[in-house]
Copies of this chain bind each other. A is one copy, B any other.
Amino acid sequence: MIMAENHHLRIGVVLFPGFQALDAFGPLDVLNILSWSYNISISLLSSTLDPVSTKPPQKARAAGQSILPTHTFASAPPLDVLLIPGGLGTRSLAAPVEHAISFIRSNYVHLKYLITICTGTSLAARAGILDGKRATTNKMAWAETTVLRPQVEWVPHARWVVDGNIWTSSGVSAGIDVTLAWVEEEFGANVAEEIARGMEYEWCHDPTHDPFAEHWGLWPL
């Protein structure tokens, strides 16, 4: 469906400690530019309103940047689209990730679209909403991610996968491609192309283009 310029689209992004910076800010850059011309609000959701660091909990010496959420999961506004970034933080069993999974599980029915990036797919998978659906995720972390929910029909060779209203992408930078593909679907090819050109990004238009699946020995099977 091509969106009218005056339609209000409400987008939420799930944040948790150790989310991967580019997983979130690649898609956000696309959506920020989209908001220059369309009526879009973007909420950043987390367990609390405390700043959320990209620093992985597992990496004591790692650098990280701190982002301010706009809402807690408990105070989240109604949403049309939910984006879930990945990162080493998804592998944590701590409260913020469990809160994120609960939020995804209870809010999915209200969404028009769910978009997951990289190992963010594992949070949707653990919420149970990908059972029986085709989905993809980060290729380097393939084995440890897919084992978390074998009920998902995991697609090992894909830049991104669309099943119904759920768009899942491969690792990190694939989030930019899946978001541009979603913008193309929702706002039209010209809008997506103009954004990509503005970002000077040579985007991958082919969801089956995946040299990283080959690199990590996931394809050919």
Residues of A whose CB lies within 8 Å of any CB of B are 20-22, 24-26, 28-29, 31-32, 35-36, 39-42, 44, 51, 54-56, 59, 61-68, 118, 138-140, 170-174, 176, 197-202, 204, 211-212, 215
CA distance A174 to B25 in the complex (A): 15
In the complex, the answer to whether A20 meets B29 with C-beta atoms within 8 Å is yes
A140 interface neighbour in B36, B198, B202, Cβ under 8 Å? B198
Q: How far apart are the CA atoms of A41 and B62 in the complex, in Å?
A: 8
Q: Nearest-CB distance from A27 to chain B (Å)?
A: 10
Given known A21-B28, A67-B67, contact A139–B200 (CB-CB < 8 A): yes
Interface centre among A31, A41, A199 (most CB of B within 10 A): A199
B41 touches A63 (CB 8 A): yes
Complex contacts, A62 vs chain B, CB 8 Å: 32, 35-36
* A200 close to B138 (CB less than 8 A): yes
A63 to B196, CA, bound (A): 18
